[in-house]
Structure 1
Amino acid sequence: MKPIIWDRDTCVRCNMAISDRRFAAQMRGGPKDTVFKFDDVGCLVFWLEEQRDRFPWMTNASSRMWVADFDSKSRDEMVWHDPRKVRYITRTSPMGYNHAAAGAAAEAESASYEDMRQQTLARGK
């Protein structure tokens, strides 16, 4: 993945600066290996829905996605997960979608990617 320049790079969906490392996400793929950065996994979820027709390659195996582990120690020691393979816990997030990738610290009441996705889309924004 491409490094995030904290407090300078902006979310491709909401244009907010990406500053809270606990909720950052990224997608990379397509014919030009384009990089899309997000400040909240909820922005990634909505952006994928909104861009489905514009970027049909998003569902190809060559496209990659990452979401930051909520418990990453620091901006220099980030742990990244495939958002489709990690569990999500409820935490107050930058855009108010309130999901964080739990990694190894998944709680009993954590949600799968599909559950988190459905909850996020149901909230709207």
Structure 2
Amino acid sequence: MKRLSYQYVVLRCVPRPDREEFLNVGVVLYCQSADFLDVAWHCDADRLAALDPGLDPGQVCTALEFVEGVARGDSRGGAASGQPLGPRFGFLKAPRSTVLQPGPVHGGVTTDPARQLEHLLERLVG
């Protein structure tokens, strides 16, 4: 099987940047050689409430659905969805909001980008 290099960012919910606390809620994975860009996410309302009881989990899910739209190239992602995969990943890895922020870019190799994305979600988000 061919080994493919990929890049990924962990999406973090940061309800109060001044406290520097966050909860991992998703992963965006980009594999240029496989023409693959996707996101997997899980929004645990109880864990978010423990981080910030005033946070609306629906707001976090809406932001994650936007990211999903950009990654998958559908209307939920607005104008960014119409770009090629590389620029869309660039858009997603750039800091945008105070509630949902990407972590640093990491890389690796895999034979199956979709399976790797699910593995990273399980390992890094829970």
Higher relative contact order (CA 8 A, sep 6+): 2
Q: What's the TM-score, normalizing by structure 2?
A: 0.30
> Normalising by the residue count of structure 1, what TM-score does the alignment of the two structures yield?
0.30
Q: Which has the higher strand share?
A: 2
Higher helix share: 2
Which of structures 1 and 2 has the bigger CA Rg?
2
